[in-house]
């Protein structure tokens, strides 16, 4: 059931498999989903228990298959999970998308040390990054104000990458190229390639991004020991800003099939992307709609009897006025 449709932002209250099966092939440019972690915990509004890891994988399989179907030919998908399922999900994603479509496993630091008993503290979660076509996908490099010099080579012979380019035979010094011919040509056209001591480097304002996201703005802004609402634990805006700005362009369609606290929808809107998302829980839809409408927690509390269906079909402003918010 669609519960919100405004400014190219569409929210549905339903099982994600139902929404996925209703979408056309190749219709979504970017998917990000902070999936159920299968912690076994029961929360106020949902139960995070899918059974054993293998049972969880089989629950996810048809959903991941549908996500691949709806993803555009140059689309990307990011699956956010943690240590409980990341290895299982990696195998599932390889099976559905193909191992050559795996781009990276991103490690996001969520907190500082909290103090565990008889174990090392868990401070990271994982984001599995895949593309539909490893030879054609959107990846917008981030620009820095400072010039960066980055080697375009690495030690060791690599079949197909130790060839001669630009008059440089990297195989002779036992090295290989880190970029393909197309990428190298694009850098050359921009005047970014320089030969230093007989070896190729990229000199540009492109900011290198690693797969360890541990900047302060990437950490959770909430406490894991203080009680709060079921959807008071959203991922930081910075996580979604980096993913959406890197793997999509303005006007593209971003999707989140595990809506939760609604951060993906809000950031997609802020970055001028279209959005479609869903959650089986009405509370998640209400929380998301409140954020999209810019309601403060107090205003949202005063509108406690406002249902997602009441703001459907572009009637949000009228409903808000009638409720005296």
Q: State the pLDDT at residue 310.
A: 38
Same domain, 200 and 229: no
Q: State the pLDDT at residue 300.
A: 66
Angle at 103 between CA 101 and CA 106, to 5 degrees: 140
Q: State the pLDDT at residue 269.
A: 98
Cβ-contact 233, 261 below 8 angstroms: yes
Which of 70-84, 256-270, 307-321 shows the lowest per-residue confidence on average (mean pLDDT)?
Answer: 307-321
Q: Kindly state the average pLDDT of the residues 73-77.
A: 98
DSSP letters, 31-42, are EEEE------EE
Q: Is 259 a member of any domain?
A: yes
User: What is the end-to-end Cα distance of the chain in Å, rounded?
Assistant: 25
Q: Is 150 a member of any domain?
A: yes
Q: Kindly state the average pLDDT of the residues 223-252.
A: 82
Same domain, 21 and 133: yes
Residue 115 has pLDDT above 80, yes or no: no
Mean pLDDT of the chain: 89
What's the number of domains the chain is made of?
Answer: 2
Burial class (CB within 10 angstroms; exposed 0-12, middle 13-18, buried 19+) of 135:
exposed
Same domain, 132 and 201: no
Q: State the pLDDT at residue 23.
A: 98
Q: Residue 158 to residues 172, 175, 181: CA-CA distances in angstroms?
A: 12, 8, 15
Residue 316 has pLDDT above 90, yes or no: no
Q: Is 164 a member of any domain?
A: yes
d(CA 92, CA 65): 10
Q: Is 284 a member of any domain?
A: no
Same domain, 112 and 253: yes
d(CA 312, CA 239): 28
Same domain, 132 and 46: yes
**Residue 148's pLDDT band (boundaries 50, 70, 90)?**
very high
Same domain, 36 and 53: yes
Same domain, 186 and 89: no
Residue 175 has pLDDT above 60, yes or no: yes
Q: State the pLDDT at residue 301.
A: 64
Which of 9-18, 106-115, 206-215 shows the lowest per-residue confidence on average (mean pLDDT)?
Answer: 106-115
Q: State the pLDDT at residue 325.
A: 33
Same domain, 216 and 248: yes
Same domain, 51 and 107: yes
Q: Is 6 a member of any domain?
A: no
Q: Is 208 helix (H, G, I), strand (E, B) or coil?
A: coil
**Residue 210's pLDDT band (boundaries 50, 70, 90)?**
very high
User: Of 160, 175, 206, which one is at a domain's C-terminal end?
Assistant: 206
DSSP letters, 281-295, are SHHHHHHHHHHHTT-
Q: State the pLDDT at residue 131.
A: 98
Same domain, 110 and 34: yes
Q: State the pLDDT at residue 223.
A: 64
Q: Which residues contact 93 (CB under 8 A, 6 or more apart)?
A: 64, 79, 102, 128, 130
d(CA 221, CA 258): 20
Model confidence pTM above 0.95: no
Range of the domain at 126: 16-140+209-278
Q: Residue 31 to residues 10, 128, 272: CA-CA distances in angstroms?
A: 14, 11, 16
Same domain, 198 and 214: no
The bridge status of strand 274-279 relative to strand 253-256 is parallel
Report percent pLDDT > 90 for the chain: 78
Q: State the pLDDT at residue 309.
A: 40
User: Of 278, 301, 320, which one is at a domain's C-terminal end?
Assistant: 278
Q: Kindly state the average pLDDT of the residues 317-323.
A: 33
Alpha helix locations (H) across the chain? 16-22, 53-70, 86-97, 181-189, 237-247, 263-270, 282-292, 297-302, 316-323
Q: Is 117 a member of any domain?
A: yes
Same domain, 250 and 156: no
Q: Kindly state the average pLDDT of the residues 12-24.
A: 98
d(CA 191, CA 203): 9
In the structure encoding, which two tokens stand for residue 112, read together? 């500082």
**Residue 311's pLDDT band (boundaries 50, 70, 90)?**
very low
Q: State the pLDDT at residue 321.
A: 31
Q: Is 62 helix (H, G, I), strand (E, B) or coil?
A: helix
């Amino acid at each position: 059931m669609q519960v919100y449709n405004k400014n190219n932002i569409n929210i549905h209250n339903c099982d994600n498999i139902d929404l996925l099966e209703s979408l056309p092939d190749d219709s979504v440019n970017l998917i990000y989903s902070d999936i159920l972690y299968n912690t076994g915990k029961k929360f106020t509004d949902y139960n995070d228990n899918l059974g054993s890891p293998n049972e969880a994988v089989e629950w996810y399989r048809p959903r991941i298959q549908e996500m691949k179907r709806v993803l555009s030919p140059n689309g990307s998908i990011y699956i956010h999970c943690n240590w409980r399922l990341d290895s299982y999900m990696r195998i599932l994603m390889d099976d559905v998308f193909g191992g050559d479509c795996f781009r990276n496993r991103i490690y996001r630091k969520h907190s500082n040390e909290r103090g565990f008993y008889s174990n090392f503290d868990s401070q990271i979660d994982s984001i599995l990054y895949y593309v539909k076509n490893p030879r054609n996908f959107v990846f917008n490099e981030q620009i820095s104000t400072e010039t960066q010099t980055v080697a375009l080579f690495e030690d060791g012979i690599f079949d197909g990458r130790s060839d001669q380019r630009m008059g440089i035979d990297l195989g002779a010094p036992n090295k290989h190229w880190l970029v393909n011919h197309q990428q190298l040509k694009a850098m050359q056209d921009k005047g970014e390639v320089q030969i230093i001591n007989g070896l190729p480097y990229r000199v540009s304002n492109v900011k290198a991004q690693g797969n360890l996201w541990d900047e302060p703005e990437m950490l959770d802004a909430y406490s894991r020991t203080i009680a709060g609402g079921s959807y008071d634990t959203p991922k930081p805006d910075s996580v979604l800003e980096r993913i959406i700005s890197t793997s999509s362009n303005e006007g593209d369609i971003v999707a989140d099939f595990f809506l939760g606290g609604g951060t993906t929808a809000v950031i997609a809107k802020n970055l001028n992307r279209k959005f479609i998302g869903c959650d089986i829980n009405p509370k998640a839809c209400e929380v998301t709609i409140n954020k999209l409408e810019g309601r403060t927690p107090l205003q949202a509390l005063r509108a406690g009897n406002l249902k997602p269906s009441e703001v459907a079909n572009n009637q949000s402003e009228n409903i808000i006025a009638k409720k005296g918010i």
